[in-house]
Amino acid sequence: MNLLLQFAAIFAIACGVCVTAPAAQLLHQSRHVVVVVWDGMRPDFVSEQNTPALWKLSREGVTFHNHHPVYPSATNVNGTALVTGIYPGRNGITANHVYRPDIDVHQSIDVEIPAVVEKGDRLSGGKYISVPTIAEIVQRAGGRTAIASAKTVGFLLDRHAGIGPAKNCVTLFAGNSLPHDAITSIIAALGPFPSAHLERDSWTTKALTDFTWKDGLPDFSILWLGEPDLTQHESAPGAPAALAAITSADANLAVVLSALDQRKARGTTNVFVVSDHGFSTIERSVDLRRILNDAGFAAKTEFKDDPKKGDIMLAGNGGSVLFYVVGHDEAIVRRLVEFLQQTDFAGVIFTKQPMEGTFGLVQARIDQPSQGYGAATSNAPDVVMAFRWNDSKNQFRIAGMIDADWQRAAGKGTHATLSQFDMHNTLIAAGPDFRHGQTDDLPTGNVDLAPTILRILGITPPQQLDGRILSEAMVNSETPASNPETKTVEAAKDFPSGTWQQTLKTSQVGSTIYLDEGNGGFVAR
pLDDT on residue 93 = 96
% of the chain with per-residue pLDDT over 70: 92
pLDDT on residue 236 = 98
The mean predicted confidence, pLDDT, of the chain is 92
- Please report the domains of the chain, with CATH numbers, ordered by start residue: 2-281+417-473 (3.40.720.10), 283-391+486-524 (no CATH)
* Interval 437-481: pLDDT, tens: 999 999 999 999 999 999 999 999 999 999 999 999 999 877 666
107 pLDDT tier (thresholds 50, 70, 90)? very high
| Radius of gyration, alpha carbons of the chain | 22
Alpha-helix residue ranges (DSSP H) falling in 208-274? 229-234, 240-262
369 pLDDT tier (thresholds 50, 70, 90)? very low
pLDDT on residue 378 = 65
* Interval 498-517: pLDDT, tens: 999 999 999 999 999 999 99
- Higher local confidence (pLDDT), 331 or 1: 331
Residue 389 has pLDDT above 70, yes or no: yes
Residue 28 has pLDDT above 90, yes or no: no
Mean pLDDT for the stretch of residues 46-56: 98
29 pLDDT tier (thresholds 50, 70, 90)? low
The terminus-to-terminus CA distance of the chain in angstroms comes to 61
* Interval 122-150: pLDDT, tens: 999 999 999 999 999 999 999 999 999 99
CA distance 487 to 391: 21
Helix axes 2-19, 114-124, angle to 10 degrees: 40
367 pLDDT tier (thresholds 50, 70, 90)? confident
Q: What pTM, to 2 d.p., does this model score?
A: 0.93
130 DSSP assignment: S
Query: What DSSP string describes 86-114?
Result: S-HHHHS---SEE--TTT-SSB-EETT-H
Mean pLDDT for the stretch of residues 290-305: 97
Residue 248 has pLDDT above 80, yes or no: yes
* Interval 167-184: pLDDT, tens: 999 999 999 999 999 999
14 pLDDT tier (thresholds 50, 70, 90)? very low
CA 139 centroid distance within chain: 22
pLDDT on residue 477 = 77
22 pLDDT tier (thresholds 50, 70, 90)? very low
Q: Are 40 and 415 in contact (CB under 8 A)?
A: yes
pLDDT on residue 11 = 43
Strand partners, 386: 320, 348
Among the residue ranges 24-28, 57-61, 255-259, 429-433, the one predicted with the least confidence is 24-28
Residue 435 has pLDDT above 60, yes or no: yes
Classify each residue of 144-171 as buried b or exposed e, where b means 16 or more C-beta atoms within 10 Å of its C-beta. Answer: bbbbbbbbbbbbbbbbbbbbebbeebbb
